[in-house]
């Protein structure tokens, strides 16, 4: 088969399963020598074996070029263009011992293959037209998915939904370009241009398409990137006890003595598919202890940039004003802060702390780390705040990545400026330049016009072997 543009024409090999021991490990080859290497290293267990047949698992032994037994396993051959990369591909299914996989890989190298780089198999799939760039990037996202919601977003992208949306948007822009280019290219023919009112309406429709895609990116963002929720408040308010209760483990030291937590602690928390980094900060108080003061400052710095602040207040005592905590609430804004009334298993303070918290515009959730009361309600409230853009996209709805969203946002800027130009009766040839720029930006999503440095940045994030 011909070598696609950007290929070196060589054969690459890598271990395609995660590092460490396992029941099965896979060594993958792709390129013009793949079938030959596979045939040289594999010996079938069946009498009368007639060679590697496409899309069939063959059982036998794997031996190095000198005939030394490396493993008993299976081999599969997928001829191009009907393989993942579009090239001839062979996969050895071995026992998942690192020593075995290294030996099989070394045997592949001895017969002319070279080590694959990060994401090189998927890059070849892209260069050979098996995947568009959005689908190729989705492969890495699916591998790295930390929860079902993030996996669903990646699966939708891998199905081609984002690329299809980009192609449809690009086709709409192409129609607009055709509508105005006739008059620009053939002025002597007195060709009638697209009326400007219709032109503006069509551009507005394209902007609306982009807005829908960008909204899906915003909804998907916390599921892709995760979010930080930070506990803050006065000393002995119950932050560390709550931290442990939310995690279901004694991660933080808890003691009656104030200042027990002298630095921040972090742990991962899964909120029904939403990955959250939960941070426990040092209690707020004036202290001559330089180490405690430094830890408090670091924790407050993290809380100040958190997507959600959990202002922990001792619900069993009257509200005690704290300038630092209240300044942080004001900085984050009530929409990004939940008040947590701790120690709900004790009689409430008088006056009720909720009155002061309500005056600050804060909703409050009462909890008891000791009994577990209110923890489920708090977790639900946390997830609701962190997904306030209405949660993840609907199943099957395309959610562009951050890179793709940046291209879409830039295209939207060009189209918004174009609407202004239409109203100002700017000449059609100048408006055509804006359309051309917007079309190029949209084409960047699928990789039609993507520069080499962007391609390298996409694929270098992949693991070796995929």
pLDDT tens per residue across span 195-220: 788 889 999 999 999 999 999 998 88
Mean pLDDT of the chain: 86
Q: Which of 370, 386, 402 is the last residue of a domain?
A: 386
Residue 237 falls inside a structural domain: yes
- Do 42 and 187 fall into the same domain? no
The number of distinct structural domains making up the chain is 3
In this structure, are 179 and 276 located in the same domain?
no
> Do 117 and 156 have their domain in common?
no
413 occurs within a structural domain: no
**Weakest-pLDDT range from 84-98, 176-190, 237-251, 360-374:** 176-190
| 381 upstream amide cis, omega within 30 of 0 | no
Whether 347 and 249 share a structural domain: yes
Comparing 24 with 291, the larger pLDDT belongs to 24
* Structural domain contains residue 4: no
Whether the per-residue pLDDT at 52 is higher than 60: the answer is yes
Per-residue pLDDT averaged across 408-420, rounded? 95
| Domain around 173 | 143-208+418-459
Q: Examine residue 216 and state whether it is found in any structural domain, yes or no.
A: no
247 in a structural domain: yes
Is residue 154 included in any domain, yes or no?
A: yes
Any idea which of 154-168, 365-379, 385-399 has the lowest mean pLDDT? 385-399
Share of the chain above pLDDT 70, in %: 86
Looking at the structure, tell me whether residues 344 and 235 fall in a common domain.
Answer: yes
Tell me the pLDDT tens digit for each residue of 26-40: 999 999 999 999 999
Q: Say yes or no to pLDDT of 460 above 80.
A: no
Name the pTM for this structure.
Answer: 0.77
Residues 164 and 292 in one domain: no
pLDDT tens profile 426-440: 887 788 889 999 999
* CATH number for 294: 3.40.50.300
Residues 90 and 175 grouped into a single domain: no
Q: Are residues 317 and 366 in the same domain?
A: yes
Same domain, 311 and 371: yes
Q: Give the model confidence (pLDDT) of 145-195 as tens digits.
A: 888 888 898 999 999 999 999 999 999 998 888 877 555 555 555 555 667
Is the domain of 20 the same as that of 110?
Answer: yes
Q: Select from 97, 127, 157 the last residue of a domain.
A: 127
Whether residues 156 and 95 fall in one domain: no
Same domain, 425 and 347: no
Answer whether residue 135 is part of any domain. no
């Amino acid at each position: 088969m011909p070598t696609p543009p950007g290929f070196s024409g060589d054969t690459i090999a890598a271990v395609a399963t995660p590092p460490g021991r396992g029941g099965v490990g896979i060594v993958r080859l792709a390129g013009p020598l793949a079938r030959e290497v596979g045939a040289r290293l594999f010996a079938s267990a069946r009498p009368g074996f007639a060679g590697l047949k496409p899309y069939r698992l063959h059982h036998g032994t794997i031996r190095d070029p000198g005939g030394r037994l490396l493993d008993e396993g299976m081999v599969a051959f997928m001829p191009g263009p009907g393989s993942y990369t579009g090239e001839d591909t062979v996969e050895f299914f071995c026992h998942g011992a690192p020593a075995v996989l290294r030996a099989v890989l070394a045997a592949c190298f001895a017969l002319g293959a070279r080590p694959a780089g990060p994401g090189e198999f998927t890059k070849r799939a892209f260069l050979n037209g098996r995947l568009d760039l959005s689908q190729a990037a989705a492969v890495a996202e699916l591998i790295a998915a930390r929860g079902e919601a993030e996996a669903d977003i990646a699966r939708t992208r891998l199905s081609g939904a984002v690329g299809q949306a980009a192609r449809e948007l690009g086709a709409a822009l192409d129609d607009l370009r055709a509508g105005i280019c006739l008059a620009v290219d053939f002025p002597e023919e007195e060709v009638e241009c697209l009326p400007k009112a219709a032109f503006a309406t069509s551009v507005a429709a394209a902007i609306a398409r982009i807005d829908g895609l960008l909204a899906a990116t915003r909804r998907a963002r916390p599921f892709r990137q995760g979010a930080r929720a930070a506990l803050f408040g006065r000393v002995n308010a119950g932050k560390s006890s709550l931290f442990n209760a939310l995690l279901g483990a004694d991660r933080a030291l808890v003691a009656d003595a104030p200042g027990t937590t002298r630095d921040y602690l972090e742990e991962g928390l899964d909120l029904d598919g939403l990955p959250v980094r939960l941070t426990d900060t040092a209690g707020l108080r004036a202290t001559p202890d330089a180490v405690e003061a430094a830890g408090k400052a670091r924790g407050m710095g993290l809380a100040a940039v958190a997507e959600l602040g959990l202002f922990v207040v001792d619900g069993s005592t009257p509200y005690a004003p704290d300038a630092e905590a209240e300044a942080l609430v004001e900085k984050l804004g009530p929409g990004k802060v939940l008040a947590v009334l701790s120690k709900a298993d004790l009689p409430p303070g008088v006056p009720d702390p909720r009155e002061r918290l309500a005056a600050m515009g804060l909703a409050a959730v009462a909890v008891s780390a000791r009994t577990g009361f209110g923890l489920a309600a708090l977790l639900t409230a946390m997830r609701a705040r962190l997904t306030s853009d209405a949660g993840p996209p609907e199943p099957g709805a395309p959610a562009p990545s951050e890179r793709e969203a940046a291209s879409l946002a830039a295209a939207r800027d060009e189209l918004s400026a174009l609407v202004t130009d239409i109203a100002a009766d700017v000449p059609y040839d100048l408006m055509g330049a804006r359309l051309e720029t917007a079309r190029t930006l949209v084409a960047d999503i699928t990789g039609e016009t993507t520069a080499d440095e962007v391609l390298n940045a996409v694929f270098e994030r992949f693991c070796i072997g995929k």
